[in-house]
Structure formats: structure tokens, C-alpha cells
Amino acid sequence: GGGGASSVVVSAAAASRRLPVGVRKPPLRVVVTGGAGFVGSHLVDELLARGDSVIVVDNFFTGRKENVARHLADPRFELIRHDVVEPILLEVDQIYHLACPASPVHYKFNPIKTIKTNVMGTLNMLGLAKRVGARFLLTSTSEVYGDPLEHPQKESYWGHVNPIGVRSCYDEGKRTAETLTMDYHRGAGVEVRIARIFNTYGPRMCLDDGRVVSNFVAQTLRKQPMTVYGDGKQTRSFQYVSDLVFLVDGLITLMESEHIGPFNLGNPGEFTMLELAQVVKETIDPSARVEFKPNTADDPHMRKPDISKAKSLLHWEPKISLKQGLPRMVSDFQKRIMDEKR
């Protein structure tokens, strides 16, 4: 019949809408807020590698252009300097909402800004998701459990959080972000996913971001003593970044799944800070020392994820132990510390 070319286009478009379940969808338009940061930049690498178009929205508070510089010439990549506290209009299929400082030193630096980012930033991204019908994923945190009275922590645990403390801008902020996410789901029909991420480390963390793994590694490489806060007997469970973001694992799996969550995403391997210092010492420098410093207020005494929900519903499980993961971040830190000296 007439109009061959246009009917081909129309039927191709129609066919792509009728793809059978399990067949890959055409490339998606994905926005990653906070995509110039540590976790976000690794996620961006994965999304571009699988063929998606990626827009990073970041105000560069803790993120760095260098983290995504390798993609700047890629036509499927776009970097927008924007603060999520302000509204933004975009046309996208999926939103990974990561924008928020994650290190206690950074989030306490300007607590009002932190809670605005968590509340107004999340509200704006949910408003965007509602307007364009995009699926929205929130990177929440193990901090929603506060100083937990249940150990290890299951998703069903409601937490033990100080609402007026110095960490509240972050942990109450993330709790509110979870509330907004569920209310936009129930009230406005937005498709949502919630990940509760436990302490994650790896290449591209800020050298001096104040988190314990980056501190201990940078201090040891600079021949400074590792600063152990308090008695060093408090525990955390450390997850290597690839276990969190990779295509077959973690965040992308959750986004593509039919499950809302929340899901704990973390490595159940639990260490005291003194045990962590010992592993850093064995990995980097047998002559490394520790020095004790007073602890910060409201520091959670212990933290360890129960990941049975993610295991059974997402078939997700971290693979890289602390002893395997640490050496992979050391070369990145070594290189950046050398660059500093030049």
C-alpha cells in the first residue's frame, strides 16, 4: 500500500510496545541524581554499558566531574549541574534518586541543606516521576534503623532514631524520603523502589570524606595513624561497591524487578572498627598504627543487614568480602594521593 516508509516506522514503534515479557526493552532514558558521586558514577557506567541514555543531575557538593569525565563525549550521556531542591523538567523513563551527601562529615556540614535535599529534593523527583510516568528508585540507608535495638536488622524493624540529634538531618531525612516515596506510590500511582543501603566502599570515594574505610585507607597510605573513634568496638558491615550497583546485582536488579521493597542491600560481614583497622593494616602496610579519638554523638553501636528478603525475592547476594574488596580500592586511592603531591 501507499506510504511504505511511514508505515514501517509506525509498525516498528508498535512492535516495540508489544515486546513479549523477558525480551529487552529499547534503550531507556534514565536520570541519575547524584550521578557524579561515588555510588552514582559506578551506576552510570553500568547503565551506559547496557545501552541506556543517561542524564546525571548533580550540584557537585560531594560529587566530582572527574567521576563521569570519561562519558562526556558520549552522545547518550548528559551532565546537568542542578540542585534537586529546585524543580526540574525532564522527559525520562526511570529515575535513580541518589542526590544527598552520604558521609556524616558532609551531611552534618550544613544540616538544613541536607534535610532540604532529602525532603524537597525527593519531593521534586517524585513530582517529576508522577508527571512523566517514570519509575522511581530511592537510595535510602541503613541509618533509618538508627542505633538499632534489633540485630541484625530486618526490613520489618522500625528503627531507633533520635529525631533531634546531629544525625537527624540525614536519618530522619531519609525516613521522610521513604514516607514520601510510599505516599506517591499509594496516592499518585507512581511506580517506586526503595533500597536501604548499608556502608559501601570502593574506588572514587572522596579521599577525605570522613567515612571510616576511606579515612583508614587514606591515612595508612599517607603514613598517618588510623583514627579510631571511641573504643573501636562499635561494628559496621562493609559492602564493596560493585556488589551494590552491578547490572546483575543490586540497584539495577531492584529497579527492574516487580518488588517495591524496602530491601536491605549490604554485606552481612560484620567488623568492629579495630578489626577493620587490622584488615587495612594487613592489606596496605604492616607497620600501620591506630590512634584513639573521641566518638561523635549518636554513633550507632552496631549494624549488620539481614538480607534474606533480597536473597529470596531479588536473588541478590554480595560476593566480595572486605579482604577481597579493599585491595581494589587501594590502587585508586594510591593514584589520587600521588596526584595530590604533584
Residue 155 sits in the site that holds ligand NAD (CB under 6 A): no
Q: How many CB atoms lie within 10 A of CB 240?
A: 21
> What contacts 335, CB < 8 A, 6 or more positions away?
none
Which one of 25-33, 38-46, 86-94, 249-257 is the stretch in contact with ligand UDP (CB under 6 A)? 86-94
Residue 40 sits in the site that holds ligand NAD (CB under 6 A): yes
Q: Binds 128, which of ligand NAD, ligand UDP, none (CB < 5 to 8 A, cut-off by type)?
A: ligand UDP
Quickly list H helices, 18-158: 38-49, 104-109, 111-116, 122-132
CB closer to ligand UDP out of 138 and 273: 273
Q: Which of residues 95-114 bind ligand NAD (CB under 6 A)?
A: 98-102
From the candidates 96, 107, 145, 170, give the one annotated as an active-site residue: 170
Counting beta carbons within 10 angstroms of the beta carbon of residue 166, is it exposed (0 to 12), middle (13 to 18) or buried (19 or more)? middle
Counting beta carbons within 10 angstroms of the beta carbon of residue 232, is it exposed (0 to 12), middle (13 to 18) or buried (19 or more)? middle
Q: Which DSSP letter does residue 121 get?
A: I
CB closer to ligand UDP out of 97 and 236: 236
Q: How many residues bind ligand UDP (CB under 6 A)?
A: 24
Smallest gap from Cβ 153 to ligand UDP, in A, equals 12
Q: Binds 236, which of ligand UDP, ligand NAD, none (CB < 5 to 8 A, cut-off by type)?
A: ligand UDP
Residue 295 sits in the site that holds ligand UDP (CB under 6 A): yes
> Is 145 one of the catalytic residues?
no
CB closer to ligand NAD out of 36 and 314: 36
Residue 254 sits in the site that holds ligand UDP (CB under 6 A): no
Quickly list H helices, 74-226: 104-109, 111-116, 122-132, 168-188, 212-221
Q: Using CB under 6 A, which of 85, 123, 207, 337 touches ligand UDP? A: 123
Q: Which of residues 181-210 bind ligand UDP (CB under 6 A)?
A: 199, 210
Nearest residue to 251 via CA among 130, 116, 97: 97
Counting beta carbons within 10 angstroms of the beta carbon of residue 116, is it exposed (0 to 12), middle (13 to 18) or buried (19 or more)? middle
State the catalytic residues. Answer: 170
